[in-house]
Structure 1
Amino acid sequence: MAETDKRAVNNNFRQATILVVEDNQDHWTLIKAALQESLPEVSVVWVASAEEASTYLENCVANEQPLPKLMLLDLYLPEAEPAWQLLRTVKTPNSRFIRMPVVAFSYSTNREDISELYTFGGTSYITKPSDYNQWLLYFETMRSYWWETVTLPSERY
């Protein structure tokens, strides 16, 4: 790997946090374990609602703390509207959070959900894995793409 490529990867890991917005405790337990195994260098923050996610992001700004490098957003918390509202707020033009990638996940394979996600500025959509090994594979792939391939925005937006 070229030296400049290594620096980009290292910057992705620098003060890296993933914000996970997931209302289901059992899903969170699987996600947390798989993330810790796949991305041990990355801090993971869990919130159970869109309101908690908004508060966390606003507190990062108010306290001049680095923003998450990535948000994982469950589309049904347990209803969809709070997640859609959070996504619209984060991706509103001039939002301090607009460059933060938002990866949505859900058991839904509804084409309308997927289309709306991209319309509102979501970065990608995955169907929730159903067991730990599938979560682990997903996060290993995520590590390769989001942390080792692309260059993420700086931690201060």
Structure 2
Amino acid sequence: MTDKSTPLFDVLLVEDEPADAHLIKMSFKENRVRCNLHHVWDGVEALAFLRQQGADYADAPRPDLILLDLNMPRMNGREFLAKIKSEPDLASIPAIVLTTSDIERDVVATYQLGANGYITKPVDVEQFIAVVRQIEGYWFNVVRLPSKQ
């Protein structure tokens, strides 16, 4: 668990399913994760956020971590990963796939595209909250993230 001396992190949640987005937000709140959670609905919006394009994202912060669903309209998670990992300014941002798919080819493909982790979303709320706690513990307390450029 974090304390008041723990710095705030910026997390970009890329999730098109309202119920899943709500559950992720609730899990972050339940775990008292000290971060600013920014939510966009698909890869197109996520790229605009990262590139600070448009009035909505002109002042968007560079996230410390991206939580990414795979199956989304307009630009899916695979296409999004390929784009950000090919751009030098964005490639160093860790991206964790958080999806309902447990298909091996999805796991392999996303790691080949540069994903830093792959998590299959638990269907049970308590398990979901536990997964978020583990994400927080590992990504915000154990590993050293790249400094914001």
TM-score range with shorter-chain normalisation? Answer: 0.7 to 0.9
Amino acid at match of 1:97: L
State how far apart, in whole Å, the 1-side matches of 2:132 and 2:40 are.
19
State how far apart, in whole Å, the 1-side matches of 2:138 and 2:33 are.
16
* CA deviation vs aligned residue, 1:9-45 (integer Å, no higher than 9, x gap): 99xx534111000000011111100012224310000
Amino acid at match of 1:154: S
Instruction: Name which of 81, 93, 118 aligns with 1:87.
Output: 81
Aligned CA-pair RMSD: 2.3
State how far apart, in whole Å, the 1-side matches of 2:41 and 2:17 are.
7
Residue 117, structure 1, aligned to residue 110, structure 2: yes
Instruction: Name which of 41, 47, 50 aligns with 1:54.
Output: 47
Taking a change above 3 Å as real, the CA distance of residues 57 and 39 of structure 1, as seen in their structure-2 partners, is farther
Compare the two structures and name the one with the higher helix fraction: 1
Please tell me whether the aligned partners of residues 16 and 68 of structure 1 are also in contact (alpha carbons under 8 angstroms). yes
Instruction: Name which of 19, 28, 33 aligns with 1:26.
Output: 19
State how far apart, in whole Å, the 2-side matches of 1:65 and 1:21 are.
14
Structure 1 length as normaliser, TM-score? 0.82
Structure 2 length as normaliser, TM-score? 0.86
Higher relative contact order (CA 8 A, sep 6+): 1
Where does structure 1 differ by over 6 angstroms across 4 or more consecutive aligned residues?
none
Taking a change above 3 Å as real, the CA distance of residues 106 and 64 of structure 1, as seen in their structure-2 partners, is closer
Aligned length: 143
2:65 aligned partner = 70
Unaligned runs of 5+ in 1: 1-8
